[in-house]
């Protein structure tokens, strides 16, 4: 039976469901009644010391509401009528049992605010006083009056009959009702050790009960107190398992005691039927009240401890929230939370200062009011990643203030989860990096101007070297050669010295031309990146006596002078560093065009290095390459590990006006 706190109108339930409830209550009452009548040896005139059916009746009304009273009435009538007693007697006893059960349920609900879980001491005491002893006054008075009006006499007189009737119904409530109310607690026994302990408890309790109540009554005359030897086991159940197992243990002892007493054994079978019944009921009452109240005290204490722990946890959580709130409000970063529907739920002071919206203006509004229209897709992508549990760190983007001003920000987005771990929203920490970006842009502009000035100076020096100094050196070499031919043959030593000077002049001319080409490649200017890169590789290979494997494919033509110069300088710097530091004599250079980009890689299988260390102590060469790549919106990556070689990969986006038709396979 499922628990319910109050009765509902019968018409609010489907007829089929009500019929099932009616049948279950009727069958349960009938079986309990027949079990109560089975102990004929200690009964008299349809009255006995234990009436479990009344406990079923009260439990049914407490659990399913007043609507099940017809099932109680029909069950009580059938049990009484089949006992057998006259029709009038059966009707009277059924009326008494039904009215008493309704009265007990009413008193428990209205006066005691009764909880069927019996987890409070007040619930257990109320069940004893109102549900058991109180409601049994009604059933005993009506039942005994009916018996004597229909001339059905019991025990030694009306007083004795009323006492046994009252004790029998009260005992039925004390023994059966708690079991029916708390039966589903046994579902919590899922741990193997606790199940084993539970079975051991029932086994020992049964063995002790059979020993105490199974001995011949003649041996128990002076040892009645041994009946209470079962109480330690009842206390065990109360301490270790709670109210449900305690009630079940008490019912098990009562069942064994009742059967053995009916068979003439045990400490309560040596007197008259009346006194045997009274002693049996008193024993059951003492055992039930002791066990149930003790179990309720243990349960209440456990609940109080849980509540105390919950209060401590809530207090700690509140203090943590207060500390967090203080941190949030004192932070210079905007801290904003929003639900999965992207509606703003919290907004700190820094967010007010950064975006211009007050807390009242921001909360409840969509977060997209801070996002430029062109970046809405980026935000949707971030929220999709967040919904999958990913944390987004230091995303640099743009947001819009209340007055429409765009600011550069760095955002860290973390998922917010509930107690079950389900993602319910997002927490965003936003830092204004506008000044940093402006400084970076200013530095980038300065670097661009420096690089442009450097290139101009390179071009000027290269032209002076090529057009002036190299030509003058060439004329000097030619003049020395003319002197060599005009000298008389009689001066061989002078001939040799002039030849040496002429050779040095020619070598110097070649070096100056090489230096001029390195400073400014005319091939790059007139023939393009592929020819210039290939020529540089050949020149460096011959000069340094190394092998450079250069290959190119799908390189667009023509390519802008800015991109060509950038890639050429990256190639120069990379190869010079590789030849100087790699420790190997073979290198690979790859230059190729993709759908929207052009790529350059310079690789070797040399000693390699730790990339993090190089970035920390980046020299002018790496800085120059990075700045040049930024100037054309490209990127550069360095992949190197000690002992495993180095690969420098640079790639630059192609202008939109260069289509597939402009790509030439070189």
Give the per-residue SS3 of 282-338.
HHHHHHHHHHHHHHHHHHHHHHHHHHHHHHHHHHHHHHHHHHHHHHHHHCCCEEEEE
Instruction: Give the pLDDT mean for 276-288.
Output: 79
Q: 647 φ, ψ to 5°?
A: -135, 125
Tell me the per-residue pLDDT of 351-386, one tens digit each, with 9 for 90 and over: 888 999 998 899 899 988 999 998 888 888 888 888
Q: Which tokens belong to 298?
A: 């243990």
| CA–CA dist 555, 531 (Å, integer) | 11
Q: Which tokens belong to 406?
A: 């765009």
Mention every residue, 6+ apart, whose C-beta is less than 8 A from residue 371.
379, 399, 400
What is the pLDDT confidence band of residue 298, given thresholds at 50, 70 and 90?
confident
- End-to-end CA separation in angstroms for the chain: 86
Q: 3 φ, ψ to 5°?
A: -80, 150
Cα–chain-centroid distance for residue 73?
53
Give the per-residue SS3 of 205-226.
HHHHHHHHHHCEHHHCCCCHHH
| CA–CA dist 331, 374 (Å, integer) | 29
| CA–CA dist 469, 312 (Å, integer) | 88
Tell me the per-residue pLDDT of 437-455, one tens digit each, with 9 for 90 and over: 888 777 777 767 776 676 6
Q: Is the Cβ–Cβ distance between 505 and 476 less than 8 Å? A: yes
CA angle 270, 271, 274 (to 5 degrees): 135
Q: Is the Cβ–Cβ distance between 47 and 148 less than 8 Å? A: no
DSSP symbol at 14:
-
DSSP symbol at 546:
-
What is the pLDDT confidence band of residue 220, given thresholds at 50, 70 and 90?
very low
Tell me the per-residue pLDDT of 330-349, one tens digit each, with 9 for 90 and over: 567 888 888 888 899 888 88
What is the pLDDT confidence band of residue 212, given thresholds at 50, 70 and 90?
confident
Neighbouring C-beta atoms of residue 286, cutoff 10 Å? 13
Predicted TM-score of the model (pTM): 0.49
Structure confidence at residue 624 (pLDDT): 75
Q: Is the Cβ–Cβ distance between 629 and 571 less than 8 Å? A: no
Structure confidence at residue 537 (pLDDT): 92
Tell me the per-residue pLDDT of 79-91, one tens digit each, with 9 for 90 and over: 888 877 788 888 9
Q: Treating both helix axes as pointing N-terminal to C-terminal, what angle do 243-262 and 158-182 enclose, rounded to 10 degrees? A: 140
SS3 state at 659:
coil
Q: Percent of the chain beyond pLDDT 90? A: 11
Instruction: Give the pLDDT mean for 258-269.
Output: 75
E strand residue ranges, 401-546: 406-417, 423-432
Place of tokens 């109050």: 6
Residue-wise burial string across 450-469, b where 16 or more C-beta atoms lie within 10 A, e elsewhere:
ebeeeeeebeeebeebbeeb
Q: Is the Cβ–Cβ distance between 146 and 31 less than 8 Å? A: no
Structure confidence at residue 357 (pLDDT): 92
Tell me the per-residue pLDDT of 539-592, one tens digit each, with 9 for 90 and over: 889 888 999 999 999 888 778 888 888 888 899 888 988 998 888 999 999 999
CA angle 232, 238, 244 (to 5 degrees): 130
Instruction: Give the pLDDT mean for 621-631.
Output: 78
Structure confidence at residue 611 (pLDDT): 60
Q: 636-639 contacts: CB < 8 A, separation 24 or more?
A: 636/570, 638/611, 638/614, 639/611
| CA–CA dist 520, 462 (Å, integer) | 6
Residue 314's alpha-carbon distances to 113, 306, 307, 308, 419, in angstroms, are 28, 12, 10, 10, 13
Q: 86 φ, ψ to 5°?
A: -60, 160
| CA–CA dist 364, 478 (Å, integer) | 88
What is the pLDDT confidence band of residue 459, given thresholds at 50, 70 and 90?
low
CA angle 111, 116, 122 (to 5 degrees): 50
Structure confidence at residue 155 (pLDDT): 59
pLDDT of 499 > 80? The answer is no
What is the pLDDT confidence band of residue 483, given thresholds at 50, 70 and 90?
confident
Q: 262 φ, ψ to 5°?
A: -65, -30
Residue 195's alpha-carbon distances to 199, 234, 245, 333, in angstroms, are 6, 17, 12, 56
Place of tokens 């999965």: 340
Instruction: Give the pLDDT mean for 393-411.
Output: 90
Instruction: Give the pLDDT mean for 428-438.
Output: 86
The residues facing 649 across adjacent strands are 601, 637
Residue 425's alpha-carbon distances to 366, 391, 647, in angstroms, are 13, 12, 42
Structure confidence at residue 463 (pLDDT): 66
Per DSSP bridges, beta strands 547-553 and 586-593 are: parallel
DSSP symbol at 343:
B
Q: Which tokens belong to 595?
A: 């759908």
Q: Is the Cβ–Cβ distance between 66 and 102 less than 8 Å? A: yes
SS3 state at 633:
coil
What is the pLDDT confidence band of residue 46, given thresholds at 50, 70 and 90?
low
| CA–CA dist 582, 580 (Å, integer) | 6
**Sheet of strand 423-432: strand arrangement:** 344-347, 334-339, 423-432, 406-417, 392-400
Neighbouring C-beta atoms of residue 561, cutoff 10 Å? 12
Give the closest residue to 641 by CA, choosing from 666, 593, 605. 605
| CA–CA dist 464, 458 (Å, integer) | 10
Least confident of 88-97, 140-149, 204-213, 477-486: 477-486
| CA–CA dist 566, 560 (Å, integer) | 10
Q: Is the Cβ–Cβ distance between 648 and 601 less than 8 Å? A: yes
pLDDT of 603 > 80? The answer is yes
DSSP symbol at 647:
E
Least confident of 83-87, 154-158, 595-599: 154-158
| CA–CA dist 490, 483 (Å, integer) | 14
Least confident of 43-57, 194-208, 479-493: 479-493
């Amino acid at each position: 039976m499922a628990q319910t706190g109050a009765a509902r109108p019968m018409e609010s339930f489907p007829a089929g469901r009500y019929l099932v409830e009616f049948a279950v209550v009727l069958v349960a009452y009938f079986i309990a009644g027949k079990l109560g009548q089975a102990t004929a040896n200690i009964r008299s005139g349809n009255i006995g010391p234990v009436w479990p059916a009344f406990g079923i009746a009260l439990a049914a009304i407490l659990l399913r509401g007043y609507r099940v009273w017809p099932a109680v009435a029909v069950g009580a009538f059938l049990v009484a009528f089949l006992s057998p007693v006259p029709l009038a007697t059966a009707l009277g006893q059924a009326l008494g049992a039904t009215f008493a059960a309704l009265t007990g349920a009413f008193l428990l609900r209205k006066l005691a605010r009764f909880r069927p879980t019996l987890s409070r001491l007040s619930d257990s005491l109320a069940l004893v006083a109102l549900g058991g002893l109180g409601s049994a006054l009604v059933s005993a008075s009506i039942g005994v009056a009916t018996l004597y009006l229909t001339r059905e006499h019991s025990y030694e007189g009306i007083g004795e009959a009323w006492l046994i009737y009252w004790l029998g119904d009260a005992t039925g409530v004390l023994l059966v009702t708690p079991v029916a109310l708390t039966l589903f607690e046994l579902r919590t026994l899922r741990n193997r050790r606790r199940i084993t302990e539970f079975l051991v408890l029932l086994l020992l309790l049964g063995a002790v009960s059979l020993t105490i109540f199974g001995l011949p009554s003649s041996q128990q005359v002076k040892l009645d107190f041994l009946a209470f030897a079962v109480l330690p086991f009842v206390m065990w159940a109360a301490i270790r398992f709670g109210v449900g197992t305690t009630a079940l243990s008490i019912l098990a002892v009562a069942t064994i005691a009742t059967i053995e007493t009916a068979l003439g054994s045990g400490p309560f079978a040596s007197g008259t039927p009346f006194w045997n019944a009274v002693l049996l009921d008193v024993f059951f009452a003492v055992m039930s009240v002791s066990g149930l109240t003790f179990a309720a005290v243990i349960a209440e204490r456990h609940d109080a401890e849980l509540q105390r722990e919950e209060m401590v946890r809530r207090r700690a959580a509140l203090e943590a929230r207060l500390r967090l709130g203080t941190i949030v409000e004192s932070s210079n970063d905007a801290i904003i939370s929003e639900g999965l529907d992207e509606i703003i739920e919290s907004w700190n002071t820094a967010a007010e200062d950064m975006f211009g919206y007050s807390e009242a203006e921001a909360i409840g509004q969509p977060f997209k009011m801070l996002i430029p229209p062109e970046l809405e897709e980026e935000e949707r992508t971030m929220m999709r990643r967040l919904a999958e549990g990913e944390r987004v760190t230091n995303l640099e983007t743009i947001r819009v203030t209340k007055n429409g001003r765009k600011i550069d920000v760095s955002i860290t987005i973390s998922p917010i989860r509930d107690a079950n771990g389900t993602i319910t929203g997002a927490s965003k920490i936003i830092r204004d990096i506008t000044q940093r970006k402006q400084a970076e842009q200013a530095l980038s502009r300065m670097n661009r101007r420096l690089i442009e000035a450097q290139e101009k100076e390179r071009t000027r020096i290269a032209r002076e070297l090529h057009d002036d100094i190299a030509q003058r050196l060439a004329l000097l070499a030619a003049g020395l050669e003319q002197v060599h031919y005009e000298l008389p043959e009689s001066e061989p030593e002078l001939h040799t010295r002039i030849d040496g000077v002429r050779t040095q002049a020619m070598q110097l001319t070649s070096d100056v031309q090489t230096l001029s080409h390195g400073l400014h490649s005319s091939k790059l200017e007139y023939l393009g990146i592929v020819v210039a890169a290939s020529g540089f590789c050949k020149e460096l290979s011959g000069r340094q006596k190394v092998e450079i494997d250069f290959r190119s494919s799908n390189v667009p033509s023509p390519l802008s002078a800015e991109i060509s110069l950038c890639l050429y300088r990256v190639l120069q710097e990379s190869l010079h560093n590789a030849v100087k530091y790699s420790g190997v004599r073979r290198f690979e250079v790859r230059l190729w065009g993709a759908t929207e980009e052009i790529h350059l890689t310079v690789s070797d299988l040399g000693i390699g290095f730790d990339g993090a260390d190089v970035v920390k102590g980046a020299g002018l060469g790496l800085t120059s390459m990075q700045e040049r790549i930024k100037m054309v919106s490209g990127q550069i990556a360095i992949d190197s590990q000690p002992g495993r070689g180095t690969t420098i990969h640079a790639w630059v986006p192609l202008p939109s006006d260069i289509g597939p038709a402009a790509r030439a396979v070189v």
